[in-house]
Structure 1
Amino acid sequence: MTSGHHDDMRATGPARRTVLAAGAAGAAGAVALGPLDETATAANAPAPTPAWHRYVQGPASRAVRPVRVLAGSVTGDVRDPEALLTPGGRPAVLTRPRPAAPPAWPPGTTAEASSTHAPNDGDDGNPRTYDAGNAVDGDPDTFWNDDTEGAGPDVLTITLPAARTLSGVTVLSDTDGVPTDFTVEALGPAGWHTAAAVTGNTAVQRPVPFDAPVAATAVRVTFTADQDTPQGEFTRINEVWPEAVPAVEPPSVTLDFGKVVVGHPRVRFAYASDNSPGVRLAFSESTRFLTDRSDFTRGDQAGDPGRGTDQFAVPARGADWRDDRRGHRAGADPSAPDQLYADGLHGFRYLRVTLDALPSDAPVAQPWGTVAIDSVALDFTAYVGTPASYRGWFHCSDDELNRHWYAAAYTNELVTDHFRRDDVDPRGAYSPSLDGMLVLHDGAKRDRDPYVGDLAVSARTLYLTHDDAARAARNVLADLADHQRADGWIPPASINAYTLPLFDYPLWWVACSWDYVLYTGDLGYARRYHPHLVKVLDTWYPSVTDDAGLLSKGLAGTDGYGDYAFLGRTGRVTYYNALYAQALRDAAALAAHLGLGADADRWRRRADTVARAVNTHLWDAAAGAYLDSATGPVRHAQDGNALAITSGIADAERAAAALDHLDATTRTRYGNAFMDNDTLFGGASQRVYAFTSYPEFVARFETGRADSAVDQIRRTYGWMAGHDPGTTHWEGIGPGGTLYEDAYTSCAHGWSTGVLPALTHQLLGARPTAPGYAEWSVHPYPDSSVTWVEGQLPTPHGPLYVSWRRDRGTFTLTVRAPRGTRGALALPAGPHAVVRAGAAVVWSGGRPRARGATAEGGYVRLAGLGAGTHTLTAATTG
């Protein structure tokens, strides 16, 4: 991976202003937008730092340190917590006295429950039980789970061998199963009576004092509501103790890294007491899900017993803990090798360091003692994007749009990483064929597996920023093709040993293959995998095509197939068919460039057939929008309607109506929802996916609704930027603007970076139109709030620079094209405009004045342009 370890080049010093400055050598009148440092006017003054540098988010090097101690996060006995931010000075010291042994029930005490979750196999292959007896066995690592998932109430009854005076109990749970509301009854001489009631509980260790002591022979705890905590759907009770024991908060400090980062944590311990005190690390992308356990760990998915943290036993001499490979590490006791769990790589913004240990880690690690910590840092594993590493960039008059563009770039850098056994999704995703290769993962913390649907967005983001890493996309596309099934189906990812059944993702493989060749010019890839293209389009998809020529999920045993969101859609679905038409057209373009005219013609004809069938069978004239599905309740989806427009299925009238419908039914303050009602599932009309919003941005720009596209961008990305963790782009937004899957949600997800290609390809207007930018098009779609834009697209031939400015009725467009390329320019020009190329008039009086000049849809277009600098100016004359 190429990644510059350079100093941060943010603009500092005197005030800066952006001017319209004389362009580089080329056609007369060429202009270029750029920053001007007003103090750097002498001939020997250093070149000013480009103004866009200040928006770059990546770290300056792979050694990343926290930026602050989170306010109000220090608990217990912690001295000098700020020392954790910088190495080499006084250490931070955490101290915790040895806790008293918890109270125990008398021998012969039993427990039973109204429901019990069925056992499953633990990590060692032995059954993991969830019976009620675990709540009174004295072992906090075992627990009882109900099996009602919120249906409750659930009752846990503890029976003593003889009466015992109780003044209260303590309910010890786990973060992923904290009971919210419950009552405690005691069976005394007068029968059962309510001894205490608890509501709104969020504490893992909840002491419950009784109104008065009771000589009880039994205790009954009724859980009237399941937990309302970040994780879990069940009540989970690890222990009930026969006394009310107040919780003593262990010493802890939470460090804020300022934004989401990804890699291996490193903790440098100066010294410790001689009892092997334990330290637990919990990670979270947001403060909402910052608890005593991580918001997500691969161990959760693998069934590992780490209970959501990484654990370490600190030796008295101190240590530098950086060997945090995923799994268990052998402790000092050879008879207990499964201790001190580490989850390995983490994606997070917040790191909580706590002096504590799991009961199962004794005696290797103890939850008490003294630990001195010199510093905490992160070994950053992903692509390090610095100003020097950006081969493509973007800058405009709107600060907010600039921030969203570079936040998308950083989000994508976090998922551009190598495929490693220790940190990929544990659900069968490891593959020797990808081991050690650069890939585009799904998300920084999860799912760490490259999914081809995500590449539809994240690969474009990569090509437009760091095309030196384009092999990350090729590695994924080639590997999935190499695992093509005999019937032509292509897996979506390596997960489940390449068997996860998704209906739409083989189409994304086709579209992404065309994108890869279009941006890189790698026709060798196209030739190598053309047979796979033929097999998926001419064998598998025809097997799930009905007599109308439409894909119909359910045919050929595909009822159980999912899609990008595992939606319960069946039959004729607009999204699948619009994507099918797009994939067929992309495949035809690829075949044409390989000289395979018969394949290209066949796929174009089929795309036209699909388009006609979509308009015949899936257009809802009453709503003025495409149906989500022809099966089931009437609803209309963002994905199908947007792709019907961008794939060319919708004519201008239908496109306008569909976008009007989405405006009227899906608009929220945090973006546009992906469904117009809740008939598919509850809350669908309040869920926003940036993944499916991207084609809607494009549709709005390209149908003359640039202002509404930018408004939608501001709502979607402005919401994420303004809410924790900030900067990076979320996998999905749920009702009210929340993380749509709570703590499980990935807050740095490559498929959500569509704002970047939308601003470059549509607002700036530049894109490739033939493999490797051999041909390009520049066709801006200006927004009324933006007065100028400039940017650079990396190509195999060198940079393609584009800028435009609107000023007092004049629109100026400049392109600097590299050698070996040709292209076309289009600029907005009304019927009374005079358009000049340099000093030469090419359009006036509503007529062409130069060869190659044409007009359509409010634009004047000039084709057949070669390398060099080209400037078009449109001035309104009346």
Structure 2
Amino acid sequence: MTPTPQPNTAVQPPTVENVRDTLGIGWREPRLSWITRTTADGWRQGIYELELVNSAGKRLSSVARESDESVLVSWPFAALESRERVGVRVRVAARSADRAHPAWSAWSDVTWVETGLLDESDWTARFVSPDWDEDASKDNPCAVLRRPFELDGPVRTARLYATALGVYEAELNGARIGDQVLAPGWTAYDQRLRYQTYDVTELLHEGANEFTATLADGWYRGRLGWEGGRALYGERLALLAQLEIVMADGRVFTVATDADGTWQAAPGPALRASLYDGETHDARIRPENWHGVRAEPFDMAVLAAPTGPPVRRTEELSPVAITTSPSGKTVMDFGQNLVGRLRLTVDGAAGQEIVLRHAEVLQDGELAVEPLRTAEATDRYILRGGAPETWEPRFTFHGFRYVEVTGWPGEFDPDAVRAAVIHSDMERVGFFESSDELVNRLHENAVWGMRGNFLDVPTDCPQRDERLGWTGDIQVFSPTACQLYDSAGFLGSWLVDLALEQRADGAAPSIVPKVTPFADLAAAGWSDAATVVPWTLYQRYGDKGVLAAQFASMRAWVDHVAELAGPDRLWNTGFQFGDWLDPSAPAGQPQAAKTPAEVVATAYFAHSASLVAQAAAVLGLEDEERQYSQLAAAVRTAFQDEYVTSKGRIIGDAQTAYSLALQFALLPGAEQRRHAADRLAALVRNNGHRIGTGFLGTPLICDALAENGHLETAYRLLLERGCPSWLYPVTQGATTIWERWDSMRPDGTVNRDGMTSFNHYALGAVVDWLYRTVAGLDCAEPGYRRLRIAPRPGGGLTYAKAVLRTPYGPASVAWRINGDELVVEADVPPNTTASVDLLGAGSLPDVGAGHHAWTIPAPKVAAARFTLDSWVSELRGDQRALEIFKDAMLRYWPEVAEHLERPEADAGMDLTLRQLGDLAPRGQELLAELEHRFLGYADDNV
């Protein structure tokens, strides 16, 4: 019997591990993934075949297996050697009763994989630095290193393996090598230094050639952190370069950095290159007065191939407006707060200096530079003269929307300026839209905030004298990061450094890489990135490998907290960041949140212990699973005994306290959970549906409400526009997420608290909720092998849609309210299934791959019900209820009507409506009318 061919089934070329750049990988046995495209409904893979070919395309071997696995499949061939180049392709067949004659898809295109230098012995090059002394306590001109060489014939292939102590850009015969920015990036340099691999075949020619490279301070020697520390890794910059050339006749010619007299160095035209302060470039300078180089000792064993994406220029923006400031300066507005630098094309006299100053916002028409603190964020270009010249800084970046330009020769030409957007070159995978344009802008603000702060490490802000890898920020944001971009390689690489930087006692840093005295501080919610981020990557990408790689780090952190907490299992000692930047925190005390620090710390202790137990279960470590499950249970009991009443009231009585308890499963009884959720909802209503959480409560609060019977309260919290709220910055023109809920005050002035950023992604963690709950696209099994379709319309939205490229292919959920009907549509990728949970639709069957649609009655949402036991402050969250209250009060107690509706009334007196009636002169009449009108209001709005 001849099997029926698979209808319109094709396989994309395999991907390798979590990288898109497969030249110079560091895996001997890289895992492979592939995505199948098909129009066949319910398609499931039953068998796959992988084929290996050599660099000439000749088949080496193939492996066929009956399996439905297609994500991070183990390498089935012989382990690769250094410099080995092979191609791999795949074909698949659906599950079929006729296993002997599977209906194969066509072969995918070939993915070419080439290893880098996998062994220390592969390196013949040595680190070299200019043979002159420099003062590492200040900025120095960037050094240019060069090496001329001759080739006596045509070239077949050539590879450059390179890295630096500092940052570098290399050229061959005047042409730039590669497109990476600020290579080799930032790692724990003394323990892991990445090298890059480049194909330079087309840049070489027979005869005379010249290799050059420019070195700059970067993170290695430049100043880092608000303390102004310099040379934190070393005082001398150095280059490591190994150029391996295979001639057409098979001979191998190697040009490698060494101190044998063939390499030279001279100061170049970049007079200063500071990440914080900017770059100064004098185009009149040509390297001359060449010196020799000297070898710099370095442990070659720490060299490693990259496992995440490089930093690149990903987009260009033009100015959208040019204004003249009150001081007479020309100011460019790029319409978007971004991270990068400018490229100029200009014609002027030799020696003319153009100065570019960068800032995120304007204050009274001038650049608001106070949020930069000591960062100058200023670039200077001194013209060579004689012809048009184009310049872009190479070794700095800025966070900005506005740029002030002075010294431009002649009339300023905005067409001669472009902003280059720079960040780690991750692939965009998530898209969201709704019927509310402010929510859509909030989502895009999170996208831009991530782009700006995912610059080789997940930084806190890109503009001031900080830009550090704060662990707390990424701990709360990692789920959202995975919704927006393919973050597996980026975060997996950063986690390697986190583990390397952990102390011997297991304390995980608050900043990775560690570069400030604060970095070694172990703190709840920050150091818990050691457990939360690996677990997030496992959940979103189905990668057990990341759990295996990080498990020792995860358990070491929890063991350290167990030591700090002691036998009572309460972590209530030492400094804590707590619910950082709670909007009620006093000025200058961002850690002074309403939720006590010990409540936060003990809650995270329980959460991290539970994650270690779950990771152990995934890895088949039964003893460890049992150990940490018992520890998590003990911490939960201690939390309940110390901080929770029998009915579910939690010490601190704050939004974050209840959100932590509900989302970290710290309340054992259903009645306790109901009471806590009700109290959380009341706190939100009493606060006029304004947010009352800092960094740690913010990603949890909407889930805590929506999953516990208060979906509409969650929506009203999301959609609130007053300060503080998620949409307040949007109404103020924000194009990124702010560090503070009020980075810009309602009066239009910049918050002058000394720590203010307008590009700080942590508070954008709510975007994960937009995908999972508002649109209803969630993962039910790790890696989206099984999806959950569960939209929860509300808040007056009439439409929402989320699209996500999962490891199995694109998935989407969209819903729209048409009159009394709710229409839901979903796309499920091949080789997956989805559960369906539509409120009011009863039990729905699971669905397989393909397009699906459901039409059900639109949900009827009851308006907030107010009783005589409702608090007066609750009414502020409902405009119609407030109007009813005011109307009744004006008739029965006019002298206090205006006062009690004001927010500041809460500070001195808050009463229930019943208590208010007891005080009013005509209290019983007032209460009777309110009770009647509120009942009618609720009934009319169902």
The residue type equivalent to 2:406 in the other structure is T
Residue in structure 2 matched with residue 310 of structure 1 by the alignment: 379
| Residues 704 and 406 of structure 1, relative CA distance in 2, 3 Å threshold | farther
Query: Matches of residues 334-733 of structure 1 in structure 2 within 5 Å?
Result: 344-355=396-407, 375-382=416-423, 390-418=428-456, 439-446=457-464, 447-467=466-486, 469-492=487-510, 493-496=512-515, 499-504=519-524, 505-537=526-558, 539-554=559-574, 559=575, 564=580, 567=591, 573-619=598-644, 625-628=649-652, 636-650=653-667, 651-664=672-685, 666-667=687-688, 671-674=690-693, 689=694, 692-715=697-720, 716-724=725-733, 726-733=734-741
Residue in structure 1 matched with residue 783 of structure 2 by the alignment: 772
Distance 2:682 2:637 in 1: 21
Q: Secondary structure at the match of 1:828?
A: coil
TM-score (normalizing by structure 2): 0.50
Distance 2:666 2:230 in 1: 51
The residue type equivalent to 2:569 in the other structure is G
Distance 2:811 2:750 in 1: 38
| Residues 611 and 782 of structure 1, relative CA distance in 2, 3 Å threshold | farther
Distance 2:856 2:461 in 1: 44
Instruction: Judge conservation of contact 2:355–2:380 (CA < 8 Å) in 1.
Output: yes
Deviations 1:304-351 (A, max 9, x none): xx5x6334444554774635356xxxxxxxxxxxxxxxxx31111111
Residue in structure 1 matched with residue 340 of structure 2 by the alignment: 263
The residue type equivalent to 1:508 in the other structure is A
Distance 1:121 1:383 in 2: 25
| Unmatched runs of 5 consecutive residues or more in structure 2 | 1-17, 22-37, 43-178, 180-226, 233-324, 582-589, 861-942
The residue type equivalent to 1:704 in the other structure is G
Q: 2:759 aligns with which of 733, 748, 756?
A: 748
Residue in structure 2 matched with residue 849 of structure 1 by the alignment: none
What is the CA distance between 1:263 and its match in structure 2?
Answer: 0.7
Query: Matches of residues 226-265 of structure 1 in structure 2 within 5 Å?
Result: 252-265=329-342
Q: Secondary structure at the match of 1:379?
A: strand
What is the CA distance between 1:551 and its match in structure 2?
Answer: 1.5
Distance 1:521 1:263 in 2: 33
Distance 1:123 1:592 in 2: 44
Tell me whether 1:287 sits opposite 2:362 in the alignment. yes
| Unmatched runs of 5 consecutive residues or more in structure 1 | 5-22, 28-61, 63-119, 126-247, 327-343, 357-368, 419-438, 629-635, 675-688, 830-834, 836-842, 844-859
Distance 1:122 1:652 in 2: 48
Instruction: Judge conservation of contact 2:530–2:553 (CA < 8 Å) in 1.
Output: no
Distance 2:20 2:441 in 1: 21
Distance 1:121 1:747 in 2: 22
| Residues 598 and 788 of structure 1, relative CA distance in 2, 3 Å threshold | farther
Q: Secondary structure at the match of 1:271?
A: coil
Distance 1:26 1:591 in 2: 36
| Residues 582 and 781 of structure 1, relative CA distance in 2, 3 Å threshold | farther
| Residues 821 and 697 of structure 1, relative CA distance in 2, 3 Å threshold | same
Instruction: Judge conservation of contact 1:382–1:413 (CA < 8 Å) in 2.
Output: yes
What is the CA distance between 1:875 and its match in structure 2?
Answer: 4.8
What is the CA distance between 1:768 and its match in structure 2?
Answer: 1.9
Q: Identity rate of aligned residues, in percent?
A: 22
Tell me whether 1:826 sits opposite 2:837 in the alignment. yes
Deviations 1:755-777 (A, max 9, x none): 32111011122222332122332
TM-score (normalizing by structure 1): 0.54
Distance 1:877 1:661 in 2: 23
Instruction: Judge conservation of contact 1:626–1:658 (CA < 8 Å) in 2.
Output: no
Instruction: Judge conservation of contact 1:763–1:780 (CA < 8 Å) in 2.
Output: yes
What is the CA distance between 1:732 and its match in structure 2?
Answer: 1.0
Q: Secondary structure at the match of 1:448?
A: coil
What is the CA distance between 1:121 and its match in structure 2?
Answer: 10
Distance 1:572 1:691 in 2: 11
Q: 1:761 aligns with which of 729, 754, 772?
A: 772
Distance 2:515 2:827 in 1: 47
Residue in structure 1 matched with residue 828 of structure 2 by the alignment: 817
The residue type equivalent to 2:807 in the other structure is P
Deviations 1:667-695 (A, max 9, x none): 47xx4133xxxxxxxxxxxxxx4663221
Distance 1:314 1:653 in 2: 69
| Residues 589 and 808 of structure 1, relative CA distance in 2, 3 Å threshold | farther
Distance 2:736 2:228 in 1: 37
Q: Secondary structure at the match of 1:352?
A: strand
Distance 1:652 1:373 in 2: 62
What is the CA distance between 1:749 and its match in structure 2?
Answer: 1.7
What is the CA distance between 1:494 and its match in structure 2?
Answer: 1.4
Deviations 1:694-718 (A, max 9, x none): 2112212222322222222223232
The residue type equivalent to 2:803 in the other structure is Q
Instruction: Judge conservation of contact 2:654–2:680 (CA < 8 Å) in 1.
Output: no
The residue type equivalent to 1:515 in the other structure is T
| Residues 872 and 291 of structure 1, relative CA distance in 2, 3 Å threshold | closer
Distance 1:758 1:698 in 2: 7
Q: Secondary structure at the match of 1:381?
A: strand
Instruction: Judge conservation of contact 1:289–1:743 (CA < 8 Å) in 2.
Output: no
What is the CA distance between 1:373 and its match in structure 2?
Answer: 6.0
CA RMSD of aligned residues (A): 4.0
Residue in structure 1 matched with residue 794 of structure 2 by the alignment: 783
Residue in structure 2 matched with residue 322 of structure 1 by the alignment: 391
| Residues 779 and 293 of structure 1, relative CA distance in 2, 3 Å threshold | closer
| Residues 822 and 507 of structure 1, relative CA distance in 2, 3 Å threshold | same
Distance 1:876 1:296 in 2: 47
Distance 1:519 1:756 in 2: 15
| Residues 123 and 547 of structure 1, relative CA distance in 2, 3 Å threshold | closer
Deviates more, 1:543-552 or 1:373-382: 373-382
Q: Secondary structure at the match of 2:363?
A: helix
What is the CA distance between 1:285 and its match in structure 2?
Answer: 0.9
The residue type equivalent to 2:802 in the other structure is G
Instruction: Judge conservation of contact 1:702–1:781 (CA < 8 Å) in 2.
Output: no
What is the CA distance between 1:258 and its match in structure 2?
Answer: 0.5
Distance 1:585 1:778 in 2: 26
| Residues 770 and 450 of structure 1, relative CA distance in 2, 3 Å threshold | farther
Distance 1:585 1:121 in 2: 39
Distance 1:407 1:591 in 2: 37
Instruction: Judge conservation of contact 1:503–1:563 (CA < 8 Å) in 2.
Output: no
Distance 1:876 1:293 in 2: 48
Q: Secondary structure at the match of 2:423?
A: coil
| Residues 741 and 603 of structure 1, relative CA distance in 2, 3 Å threshold | farther
